[in-house]
Structure 1
Amino acid sequence: MTKVIVVNGPNLGRLGVREPDVYGNQDLETLRQDCERWGTSLGLEVKLRQSDDEAEVIGWMHQAVDQQTPVVMNPAAFTHYSYGLSDAAKMVTKAGLPLIEVHISNPSARDMFRKYSVISPVATATVTGMGFYGYKLALDAVAHLLAE
């Protein structure tokens, strides 16, 4: 099985508690279980990670490059301002690895400051506004790209 990491940025550890009208009532553990199940059906070994620490998330991108691991990433608030994470994400795609940016909500339909992503320009693809199902679409995309 091909290993894939699903990386979640700040405040996603609070899923189910934080703004359920935007992010739904499901929690991070449910997302982990869903992603593992979806990954298994695609021949992918999925490891879900979450951190509120920008440096840790950047470190995971470096590990992905070093270990040749595709990435599904919900950068959360880092989406809009983390040029360090953008540079690290670019290393993933420059290494020839898929990096699919995913967002539970549609950032373009929210606050003005959320309309721009510093990750989208370096990501392989972006899935937004599909709730947890967006992660399934992102994992499908990774499997498709690896099969090409």
Structure 2
Amino acid sequence: MMRVWFLPLLLAVAGSLVGAGLIAGGSPGEGVVLLVLFLLIASLNSPLIFPGSIGAEEARRRSEADGRPIVYWRPGCQFCIRLRIRLGRRAGRAHWVNIWRDPDGAAAVRAVNDGNETVPTVFVAGRPHTNPDSAWVRERLAPPA
């Protein structure tokens, strides 16, 4: 659990220290801007921006029932963050599996990526797609016409 929060907490603490140092040194504007920037980067690297994660087994079961994609991700992954942001509100239509919390999810990703935990790995209709284009994923998340 601590591993998923390490980077965001480190960024928040570093930003606080740098910001406080600048404020104390007579540059309050720069200090506040840097603090806000560090906190923004910390929030982007936190698991809070992702829809609630479920286990890999539950995600497979749900995906078989509703046909929605499964997105395997991990906190701090810049490619996962980029995919999440580009999906926007549609991101909630996918089933998200945090591979750092779910060993079965990590094993599923390793099985299709030559033993590597390369994320995001998106499963659509049981077929894996490693680091797919966000527009392609968005099309698979569109509600049926």
Q: TM-score range by the shorter chain?
A: 0.3 to 0.5
Larger RCO: 1 or 2 (CA < 8 Å, sep 6+): 1
- TM-score w.r.t. length of structure 2: 0.33
Q: Would you tell me which structure has more helix in proportion to its own residues?
A: 2
Q: Would you tell me which structure has more strand in proportion to its own residues?
A: 1
Q: If you compute each CA radius of gyration, which structure gives the higher value, 1 or 2?
A: 2
- TM-score w.r.t. length of structure 1: 0.33
